[in-house]
Structure 1
Amino acid sequence: MKSEMQTTLSGPVSLRGVGVHGGVEATLTFKPAPADSGIVFSRTFADQAPRRISVSRQSVQATDLATVLGDRSGAVVSTVEHALAAFAGLGVDNAEVEIDGPEVPILDGSAAPIVEAVDRAGVTALGARRKYLKVLKPVRVENGASFGELSPYDAGFRLEVEIEFDHAFIGRQRFAGNVTPAVFRRELSAARTFGFLKDVERLRAAGYARGASLDNTVCLDTDGVLNAEGLRFTDEFVRHKALDAVGDLALAGLPLLARYRSFRGGHKLNYQVVDALLADRSAFTVVEAPARGRREGAELVVGAPVLAFAPER
């Protein structure tokens, strides 16, 4: 980041769409917020007072196929990861997110429409210095063959995400790069969520994917991609997993000075790593102002050899 000051939106901006899992339409409105307030979701209702929930590790209710936030009374809003990724990726520290439905709209399946909305609203610097969560030692979580690990990295926030699917059209893919606003916009924001045709009936029977369509999801059958327009990137699948990681790691509550490596990860693993980090007070500290020498787009590596790294034992 070039700015050492906290930011918020310059004005309100709204989006409307359907939730990918519940299939319910909702209007999403982003509003300015004061320094040190972070990202706060406000769920509005026609017949009762709004329910407010701050984005934090403690607010997470579920991470199965989406990130769900709530409180002791239950879930407040689900599928928040793309909105959180856009705010974190663009360096928006504080915002009020008002929503009149149970789920953040999926829009086109990526964070690009949210980035466009933030651009329409504008971003304003506030009179308080930005705070960072600086990782001091490695924190690692393993789930079978999958792992996620945060480790010290003073040059900003670096992602190294690798996926592996038993599908000829995906296989093993890797994304690695320092995440800055320029890199997030160019390399990650437009990558869409994806799924497999064989799983649709099972997911819908379980209450998921009821709003999914070829307009908001990259769908694969045994032969390849069903979407008529094809892919936006040849490795769109790993880029979307990297986008999700940016959003899930924002549950830490502050931007990270760290390197995040994951193999065969997802929402649950990303959250587990955040939870493990914050549970160990010796693993992090809070600092003001960015580390010196950070450069937008530094060390971006896309499409590296698939064996660049794998689970360590």
Structure 2
Amino acid sequence: MKQRTIANSVEIVGIGLHKGVPVKMKLEPLDSDMGIVFYRSDKAVSIPLKIENVVDTKMATVIGKDDVVISTIEHLLSAVYAYGIDNLRVVIDNDEVPVLDGSSAGYCMLIEEAGIKELEKSKKAIKIRQDIKIETDDGKRVSLKPSNHIIYDFSINFEHPVIGEQNFRFDYSIEEYKENISKARTFGFLHEVQYLRSIGLAQGGSLENAIVLDQSKVLNPEGLRYSDEFVRHKILDAIGDMALLGYTLVGEYDAHAGSHHLNHLLTKKVYEDKENYEIIDLEKADAEAHVFELAYSRIQA
């Protein structure tokens, strides 16, 4: 199995969620072993997608270098990860990735428009070897554990009549991702949106790019895309955050009330102990590598 990039450059213009200004973004192919690299064209600064370049995780996953940042990268990365793309240059002329409709479906369409190209060098995956967990005193947790599959299991519990308790278990395949995860939109509560705007954030947020709820109902006229759209979007975010590991993940992600911050702590903890993981070359023909190849073959486009 070979590494992947996109076949052709493709670009889009959209609105940033927090600043509300137009952003031009271009996706460009890269060669083997170059990874995912963000480039701020207005600042002439490249920011490789690495755990050590994460600078903020309060409202979104934000990477930065030399006082230059790029925010809200998780939806784009979720789609990039879903299509198995290892090498990609993301050129952007502002500090925030376009929010599109609040999901990753638009990025799936963009990647399919660009096409996928296999490269010469073999693809690698990160195989989780033992349980790794981050847990808070109030019961929030995120974890990774060994599996020969790529699984995301997420639960949430909101004291809101529309949300309540929700759980979704996602056994990875590209078609399942496109149909059941990519369309799930980000969400927020009206009182939170009003507060964020008062401090200069969420300026681009609207009913066109987020689910907004008041105390009792969804305010979007079209309603929900799924009855459990909220927890599905949490999985979408988690997939994007796990892309910071730098390799296709083979293992099971499990979370209750997880967040960008906890996901960041989890990816850091993976690399704190070499017993936690193994980097597998998917071109090798031994039996173990074949298991990983089968696991990854389920997300071929």
TM-score (norm 1): 0.89
Q: Distance in 1 between matches of 2:58 and 2:115?
A: 33
Candidates 172, 197, 206, aligned match of 2:165:
172
Q: Distance in 2 between matches of 1:261 and 1:267?
A: 14
* Aligned equivalent of 2:51: 57
* Aligned equivalent of 1:132: 125
Q: Cα distance, 1:208 vs. partner?
A: 1.9
Q: Distance in 1 between matches of 2:209 and 2:228?
A: 17
Q: How does 1:1-313 map to 2 (within 5 A)?
A: 4-45=1-42, 48=43, 50-71=44-65, 73-143=66-136, 144-155=138-149, 157-289=150-282, 291-294=292-295, 296=298
TM-superposition CA deviations, 1:69-122 (whole Å, max 9, x none): 012x22421000011000001111111100001100101111011110101110
Segments of 4+ moved more than 4 angstroms: none
Q: Distance in 2 between matches of 1:182 and 1:160?
A: 18
Gaps of 5+ in 2: 283-288
C-alpha contact (below 8 Å) 1:90/1:184 kept by paired residues: no
> 3-state DSSP class of the match of 1:41?
strand
Q: Cα distance, 1:293 vs. partner?
A: 4.3
Give the fraction of aligned pairs with identical amino acids, expressed as a percent.
Answer: 37
C-alpha contact (below 8 Å) 1:68/1:75 kept by paired residues: no
User: Match for 1:38: what amino acid?
Assistant: G
> 3-state DSSP class of the match of 1:279?
coil
User: Match for 1:41: what amino acid?
Assistant: F
TM-superposition CA deviations, 1:252-300 (whole Å, max 9, x none): 1111111000000111111111111112222111111161543738xxx
Q: Cα distance, 1:185 vs. partner?
A: 0.9
TM-superposition CA deviations, 1:214-257 (whole Å, max 9, x none): 00010001221110111111111000000000000101111111
Q: Distance in 1 between matches of 2:40 and 2:132?
A: 33
User: Match for 1:287: what amino acid?
Assistant: I
Aligned alpha-carbon RMSD (Å): 1.3
> 3-state DSSP class of the match of 1:213?
coil
C-alpha contact (below 8 Å) 2:160/2:216 kept by paired residues: no
Query: Compared with structure 1, are the counterparts of its residues 292 and 44 closer, same or farther at alpha carbon in structure 2 (3 Å cutoff)?
Result: closer
User: Match for 2:6: what amino acid?
Assistant: L
Q: Distance in 2 between matches of 1:58 and 1:227?
A: 38
* Aligned equivalent of 2:285: none
